[in-house]
Chains A and B, each alone.
Chain A
Amino acid sequence: MAKHDTPLLDELEKGPWPSFVTDIKRQAEKNPDCWDILGQVELSYKDKITHWKHGGIVGVFGYGGGIVGRYSDVPAQFPGVEHFHTVRVNQPASKYYSTENLRALMALWDKHGSGMTNMHGSTGDIILLGCRTEALEPFFYDLTHEMGQDLGGSGSNLRTPANCLGQSRCEWACYDTEEACHHLTMHYQDEIHRPAFPYKFKFKFSGCANDCVAALARSDFAVIGTWRDNIRIDQAAVKEYIAGNIASNGGAHSGKDWGAFDIQKEVINLCPTECMWMEGDELKIDDSECTRCMHCINVMPRALRPGAEQGASICMGAKAPILDGAQFATLIIPFIKVSADNEFENVIEIIENVWDWWMEVGKNRERVGETMQRVGLPTFIKVMGLDPIPQHVKEPRSNPYVFWDEEEVEGGFERDVDEFRARHAA
C-alpha cells in the first residue's frame, strides 16, 4: 500500500500525549496495510463522516459472536482496510500479563491481522483491530491451540465479564473479584459464545463501593464488595494523620497546598450520615448508621479498614440511554457472601433466577434494566423470589397508583353492581 497524505492527522502528532497517529505510522513501516487505516481516517476527518459500511456478520464456526465485522465503503481507494474485522479476545482477570504472553499474542496478530489493537475495549476484551474474513479461522485456531486463549463475547449474549484488580493489590477489596470474574467466565462459556438472550448482558465485579470497574454504571449485573460489621480503626494511626505524619488520601492531593490535615473538616463533616465524631483524641464511628460509602477509609487508608465480615451487594439493570434512558443499577441484594469455597453457587443462583425470567419475558433487544422498568420493581422483586425491604428504594413512591393482588383485598374483585345499587340508588 502506498502512503497517503494525512495533513489533518499529522497535527495529532504534536503535543505531549502519546499520539495514536505516530503509533500507527510506526506499525505501517512493518505492515503497509496500515497506511490505509490512516488514509481512510484522514478522509473521514475531511468528510466528517464515517467510511465504514453498515454492520457485518462474520465469525468462527461454533460461536455466534466474538468478532465484529467491518468493511470499508471506499475499498478501491483503501484496499488495505477493505475487510477490517475486529476480534475480541478474552482478557485475563484484572489485565495482568507476562511479556511472554503479550509477545506471543502480538506475533499471532502480526501474522493474521493488521497489528493494530485496542488495549482494551470498554467491556474489558483485548481488541485486535483489523483483519480479513479468511484470516479469522486460522487466527482462532492458533489462538486456541497455541495460546490456550479464547474469544470474548459480542451479540445478544453474556459479554466478557470484567473486574477491578481486587485483592491482588488493594487493601479494600471485600471479596476476591478476580476469582469471581474468572470462575463465572468459565462457568458461562456457553452463554458468552452462543447468543441466546433477548439482548446483551454484562457482569462486572468491584471489590468495594469505590467501584473501580464502574460496575454500577456499566453492567446489567454488578457485584460490589462491602462489609456488615464495624470499620476497623487503628487509633494510633489516626493520631499520626492528625499530627500530619501521614499524608491524607495516600497523598492524592499533594499537587496543591490544601493546608494541614483537618480530620473534622475532611472526614467527620463530610461523612454522609454524620455518624463519626472525636472523643478526646479517639475517632468514634456509629457503624449502625454507616452506609459504607468509603470516604473515611479513602482519606485515612492506614488508620481505617473495611470490616472483617465481608461480602457484596448485587445491583442490577444499568444501561446506556437507548431506548428508554440511561440507568444506573438498582440495589437488589444488599448483602451476600461471595466466596470460591462454594464455587459462587449463591451468586450463580441469583444470576440464573434473572436469566430464567428475563429470557422468557424480555422483549427483543430489551436490556434487563428496561424489563425491570416495564414490569416494575415490586414485580421484579417478586419474580426474583425476594421479600421487598426498605433498602430496595431510595424513597417510597409519591403517587397513589398502587396495585393490589386480588387475594390481598377482602372480598376480592368480583362485585355485583345490583348489590351496590340496593344501597345507593342511581
Chain B
Amino acid sequence: MPTIEHNGNSYNCDEDGFLLNGMDDMNDDWIDYVKGVEGIAELTDEHHKVIDALREYYKKNGIAPMVRILSKTTGFPLKRIYELFPSGPGKGACKMAGLPKPTGCV
C-alpha cells in the first residue's frame, strides 16, 4: 500500500489516495495535502463546512450522504461544491474528509 508523506506526517492510503484508516488518521495536515492534489487553491470556511457536514453525517449514519442531502445540509448547490472541490463531492470532498472511497458502478 502506498504511504503518503506530508509535513512530517505519514498516511496509509490506497492507490486513489483515500485514507485506509479513514477519519482516525485525518488531521489538518491531511487536509493541506489533499488541497494540493485535488486542485484547491485556498481553503475557505465553505470548504470546512462541506468537510464538517460529511464527517458529521458519516459518524451518525456510517455512510456518505447522497449528493442532494449534502447540498441541503450545507446549502451549497452542486455547482458550488464543484467550484470548491474540482473533483466533485466524491473524489474531492470525501477524500479530504477522510471518508471511505465511494464504491459501486462509478
A55 and B87 contacting across the interface, CB-CB below 8 Å:
no
Question: For residue B71, which residue of chain A has the nearest CB?
Answer: A196
* Alpha-carbon distance between A359 and B102 when the two chains are bound, in angstroms: 19
Return B106 CB to nearest CB of chain A, in Å: 5
Return A123 CB to nearest CB of chain B, in Å: 11
B87 and A69 contacting across the interface, CB-CB below 8 Å:
no
Return A422 CB to nearest CB of chain B, in Å: 50
B22 within 8 A of A: no
Could you count the A-B residue pairs with CB atoms below 8 Å apart for me: how many are there? 69
A63 and B106 contacting across the interface, CB-CB below 8 Å:
no
B106 and A57 contacting across the interface, CB-CB below 8 Å:
yes
A14 within 8 A of B: no
B78 and A194 contacting across the interface, CB-CB below 8 Å:
yes
Interface residues on A, range: 20 to 34
B91 and A62 contacting across the interface, CB-CB below 8 Å:
no
Given contacts A194-B78, A198-B66, A364-B66, contact A63 B15 (CB under 8 A): no
By a CB distance below 8 angstroms, the chain B residues around A54 are: 103
B66 and A58 contacting across the interface, CB-CB below 8 Å:
no
* Alpha-carbon distance between A83 and B14 when the two chains are bound, in angstroms: 12
B106 and A154 contacting across the interface, CB-CB below 8 Å:
yes
Question: For residue B77, which residue of chain A has the nearest CB?
Answer: A196
Cβ 8 A contact of B87, one of A59, A156, A190, A198: A59
A196 and B39 contacting across the interface, CB-CB below 8 Å:
no
A64 within 8 A of B: yes
Given contacts A62-B82, A156-B67, contact A194 B88 (CB under 8 A): yes
Given contacts A65-B106, A155-B106, A365-B104, contact A195 B67 (CB under 8 A): yes
Cβ 8 A contact of B101, one of A55, A59, A64, A156: A55
By a CB distance below 8 angstroms, the chain A residues around B68 are: 196, 198, 359-360
Main secondary structure of the interface of B (DSSP, over half): loop
A261 within 8 A of B: no
By a CB distance below 8 angstroms, the chain B residues around A97 are: none
A302 within 8 A of B: no
Main secondary structure of the interface of A (DSSP, over half): loop
A401 within 8 A of B: no
A292 within 8 A of B: no
A37 within 8 A of B: no
Question: For residue B104, which residue of chain A has the nearest CB?
Answer: A365
Question: For residue A67, which residue of chain B has the nearest CB?
Answer: B106
B78 and A55 contacting across the interface, CB-CB below 8 Å:
no
* Alpha-carbon distance between A62 and B91 when the two chains are bound, in angstroms: 11
A17 within 8 A of B: no
B88 and A59 contacting across the interface, CB-CB below 8 Å:
yes
A194 and B106 contacting across the interface, CB-CB below 8 Å:
no
A64 and B90 contacting across the interface, CB-CB below 8 Å:
yes
* Alpha-carbon distance between A300 and B39 when the two chains are bound, in angstroms: 60
Given contacts A57-B90, A359-B68, contact A196 B78 (CB under 8 A): yes
Which residue, A55, A200, A359, A360, has most C-beta atoms of chain B within 10 A? A55
By a CB distance below 8 angstroms, the chain A residues around B87 are: 59, 61, 64
Question: For residue A197, which residue of chain B has the nearest CB?
Answer: B67
A200 and B78 contacting across the interface, CB-CB below 8 Å:
no
**24 A-B interface contacts by CB (under 8 A):** A55-B101, A55-B106, A57-B90, A57-B91, A57-B95, A57-B102, A57-B106, A62-B82, A63-B88, A64-B87, A64-B88, A64-B89, A65-B106, A69-B106, A133-B15, A155-B90, A156-B67, A194-B78, A194-B88, A195-B88, A197-B67, A360-B68, A364-B63, A365-B104
Mark A residues whose CB is within 8 Å of B.
53-59, 61-65, 68-69, 71, 83, 133, 154-156, 190, 194-198, 200, 359-360, 364-365
Question: Nearest 3 pairs between A and B by C-beta?
Answer: A64-B88, A61-B86, A57-B16
